[in-house]
Amino acid sequence: MSQILFQFLTQDDLVSLKNQINSENINILFGYSLLHFACISKKKLPTFKLLIESGSLVNQFDGYSPLHFACWHKCDFECVKLLLDSGADPNIQNGQTPLHLSIIFQTQENVMKLLLSYGAKMDIKNGKIPIDLLRNKSIIPNLKSHISLFRDMEILFERKELTDYEIKKGKYIRGIHKLYVQFRIGKNIPFTKFINILLLRNEEDIERILYFIYTGKYEAKYFKELKTFFEEIGNKEYILKIGRNGILYDLKNLYEDEESKDFRIFVGDQFIPVHKLILLARSELFRGMFLSVNDKSNQVTDYSEKSLEAINAFVYFIYHDELPKNISNEIFKELDDAVIFYQLNEDSSLDLLIEENLKKNEK
């Protein structure tokens, strides 16, 4: 890549740049490409579009990928999304992944969430995994909630407990949680239709589709495949299922669906109906309880040492990933004990929400 192209880039002379670049000169300059330098200098979306359409390699790697630099230098959300939509690997690493750099350099929160929605993994280490970095509470507390919810849904995807339906194709067998899957694909979509269309895919495609249904995450290169699948089953609004907001939308619908609740938490002579599978995903205490009980019938448990309001707030949190409004200071203190008692999965955001609200109430 010639110096003149670099000059056009730095001067935002897109007309001259377009006239001069080609597939042979766009990707090399000191080991980096024009796209790398566009990320470093925080160019705008038109520049990114021109470079990618002209043949820039979104995963060109010489220590850093363009996505690394985009996260490091806090490029605009639209630019990062274009990189991911064009096939940029969110897990490419040089010891650091783009998610590591986003957290370290405190990129926009919506960019971090975007990386997670496109399949950024939370267990890749740079000495620390991304979730460890978030234990520094100065780093965007809300993102901790975002990551912990994804992790909980991945736990649900990986666990065989409480699965009540088996998908079989040849030697392939995969247990799923029918109720959760039904709400994720769309409550009005016939489950049999979903299964029949799913079984037209190969095993890898089935796993990929189920992973998306459980977690809301996918790789950009499979966007069209997922879109086609959801159109075939009759849900053209599948885009609503993507990411944390998609999961929370369906969890809130589950929360309101009283008929499907199959577990009762007793508080004295009163009880709160919930779904076993949601407790399974979000609490180690309940997961251990379900593992130790062979009978899958309706189980009840008594937590009368806690107030009904505190347990209601806890249940509200596991479905909404936030607390109800107008909670008293006394309830926050009860919930503070409940974080440990209920053994919420590591890195739940409930402890941060409680701490923040207790501090507010002290002022």
pLDDT tens column, 212-228:
999 888 777 788 888 89
Judge contact between 85 and 223, C-beta under 8 A.
yes
Judge contact between 83 and 114, C-beta under 8 A.
no
The pairing of strands 300-302 and 263-267 is parallel
pLDDT: which is higher, 9 or 185: 185
Question: How much is the pLDDT for 360?
Answer: 62
Residues forming a β-bridge with 267: 270
Which of 332, 337, 334, 330 has the alpha carbon at shortest distance from 356? 332
Query: What residues contact 74, with CB distance under 8 A and at least 6 apart?
Result: 42, 105, 107, 108, 111
Phi (first) and psi of residue 25, to 5 degrees: -115, 0
Q: Which two tokens stand for residue 292?
A: 């130790």
Question: How much is the pLDDT for 145?
Answer: 64
Q: Which two tokens stand for residue 168?
A: 């079989």
350 in helix, strand or coil? helix
The matching CATH number, chosen from 3.40.50.2020, 3.90.470.20, 3.50.50.60, 3.30.710.10, for 261-362 is: 3.30.710.10
Is residue 340 packed enough to be buried (19+ CB in 10 Å), middle (13-18) or exposed (0-12)?
A: exposed
CATH T-level assignment (fold) for domain 3-139: 1.25.40
Where are the domains positioned within the chain?
3-139, 158-253, 261-362
Sheet holding 270-274, edge to edge: 270-274, 263-267, 300-302
270 in helix, strand or coil? strand
Q: What is the pLDDT of residues 171-197, one digit of tens each?
A: 999 999 999 999 999 989 999 999 999
Question: How much is the pLDDT for 23?
Answer: 61
Judge contact between 126 and 68, C-beta under 8 A.
no
Q: Which two tokens stand for residue 63?
A: 């220590």
Phi (first) and psi of residue 180, to 5 degrees: -65, -45
Counting residues of the chain whose pLDDT is more than 90, the rounded percentage is: 29
Question: How much is the pLDDT for 230?
Answer: 93
Question: How much is the pLDDT for 191?
Answer: 97
**Could you check whether 3-139 and 261-362 share the same CATH topology?**
no
Q: What is the pLDDT of residues 84-135, one digit of tens each?
A: 989 899 988 887 889 888 887 777 778 888 888 787 877 666 555 555 665 5
